[in-house]
Amino acid sequence: MRKTKLAWTLMLIVAATAIASKAKADDVKIAFVDIRRALNETNEGKKAMAKLQTQKDKMQKQIDSKEKEIMKMKETIEK
């Protein structure tokens, strides 16, 4: 697996170098996207975060109920 990652990395570097060598310095544009900011400030991001929060709350309730069951079982076993 490590060799595969290394091979893909080398191919990516070679491809990026080939593309960069063909492009003029004026044609190259690099962008940075702050994902956290995009999620917090856009309507779609806010909707996605609300949906994730709802799913998280639902799963947390399930975890809490399972934890209570396990604690009851533990107490029964200890008695």
In our burial notation (b when 16+ CB lie closer than 10 A, e otherwise), range 57-77 reads eeeeeeeeeeeeeeeeeeeee
Tokens representing residue 66 in the block: 């399972």
**pLDDT value of position 24:** 59
Q: Alpha-carbon distance 52 to 58, whole Å?
A: 10
Share of the chain above pLDDT 90, in %: 38
Decide: pTM greater than 0.75.
no
- Across 24-38, average pLDDT: 76
